[in-house]
Amino acid sequence: MGKDPLPDDEIALRLTELPGWVREGHAIARTFGIRYHGGVALIVSVADVERLVGHHADIDLRWDHVRFRITTHDAGHRLTAADFELAARIDRIAAAHQAQPHNS
């Protein structure tokens, strides 16, 4: 996966392709509504993929939602193509777990 920092215009374009993800400085984040035990299962599924692709999100689990925040640590905590590829994978996994959009 690409580990070179992306310019702001490309970040904005890629965000249009990932509804629900928002930019937070040099990271992107999304929150999914899902009950606690479902959230644990979601996190385990995401962690399996993260291990395979060698890229990881910061994850916050609460009783009714899970929040993912992604940046590329190896690129000086900047956004790269790898972040957007991981976000798309997280979206697919979340859909498989029937997680819902959540207002964070």
- What is the domain-level CATH number for residue 56? 3.30.1360.20
Output the pLDDT for position 71: 98
Digit-coded pLDDT (tens) for 77-92: 999 999 999 999 999 9
pLDDT at 104 over 60: no
- Note whether residue 17 is domain-resident: yes
98: tokens are: 């029937």
55: tokens are: 């890229």
- Note whether residue 92 is domain-resident: yes
Distance CA 77, CA 67 (A): 18
| Residue 92, domain extent | 8-101
Digit-coded pLDDT (tens) for 17-31: 999 999 999 999 999
Distance CA 100, CA 33 (A): 5
- List b or e across 63-86, with b for residues whose CB sees 16 or more CB atoms inside 10 angstroms: eebbbbbbbbeebeebbbbbbbbb
Domain count, the chain: 1
- Note whether residue 78 is domain-resident: yes
- Note whether residue 27 is domain-resident: yes
- Note whether residue 23 is domain-resident: yes
C-alpha angle 21/71/35, rounded to 5°?
50
**Structure confidence at residue 103 as a pLDDT band (50, 70, 90):** confident
Output the pLDDT for position 33: 98
- Note whether residue 3 is domain-resident: no
74: tokens are: 């190896």
